Structure 1
Amino acid sequence: MTELENSKGTRPQRMPREARRRQLLQAAHQVFVAHGYHGASMDEIAEVALVSKPVLYQHFPGKRELYLALLDSHLADFSRQLDEAIRSTEDNRERVFATINTYYSYIKGESQAYRLIFESDVLSDPLIAHRIEQFNSSLASSIARVVVEDTDMSEDEGLLIGRGLAGLSQISARYWATSDSAVDQNSAVELISRLAWRGISQFPKEN
């Protein structure tokens, strides 16, 4: 069966390969969110995407590869947003606020994507764990570059600070987004960024 046929035998309009890939990833996102990795099936993903299984397998050889592609897509989007926040200003206090605010906005607005990244039922898979570690490492490195440039910290010390700030952002944002907190987002981010900034600002600048 070719890509011109779907599972019901009709002939949908042929899509460019990248458009078809995006369609399949959107369907996979829907199914993985609903059932988790282990409960999802390629049959249901094909059905949701309105394509045949052979079409799905033309683009992704298996469920694991499809999940990894979806994870890569979400991580790339989140990384782009965080990178934009870090580069949005030369004022380090504002930069801390912008970066933490991006975490809060992402977890609030993209909660399904966040759960797929950090709360999946397959985080023990080595390739998936490696992808998430790469994301965490890259974010810590981006924060560390700024910290090291503006203080007398070593690179290793900067990386430790980067990990700490990323963890502070992630854990506090996750709690805020899932606890029905009466604190609005701007106030919550201001509180956490003030906490982070008061710590960072105590380190002396380079002469």
Structure 2
Amino acid sequence: METEDDDEDGDPDFRSRNYHENWEYHLSSFLMTCQNVEEIKVILDLKIENFSYQKVFETAVDEDNFLVFKFIMDNYKNFREQDLYLEPLDLYSIFESQLYFLKYAVENHPDQVELFFSHYCPEPDHFHWFTDFKIAELLMKHFPKYFFINLSVCVKLVQYRNFNVFRYYHQKGYLNNVDFNDDFFSLVKYSKDFKNFEFC
């Protein structure tokens, strides 16, 4: 039997779910317009009953809102206690798409990034992390266990024609311990960008 709380299809949870979805939409929209930390704190002070802010903050970060991301990282330990923190997999997708978010996190909260990598360790030769040498240097400096340049990285740098990045790593000595093989040199030979590169 339907009650006044049911929707037209007889869903008893409809009104409660719709109520929370409306809050999620409006708060996510509000977060996207926030100009400072004090405005963000207003959301947390609302104390909405039985409401999780997790999705609201994730949505804002997914939309590349750096202020919200910075707020989360700066308050990460407190957020963990309130279940308002970003899960390792969420951070991975963020760091993949927004390297400057990663740069801020590494420079200001290396302990939190270490926690992230301990949960979700990327392959050390994951090419994407090495396309920006400034960020790659940060990662190699702070997390040498997870980030170092090997043959696989070099192959991808050649394949994707990242000549300037490759040359930078070579000049800085990051390639000194890479065991280049005949297949690699064959690849270089037929690359328009790399064929005249001096490896010595």
Q: Which has the larger radius of gyration?
A: 2
Q: Report 1 or 2 for greater relative contact order, CA contacts < 8 Å, sequence distance ≥ 6.
A: 1
TM-score by length of 2: 0.30
TM-score by length of 1: 0.30
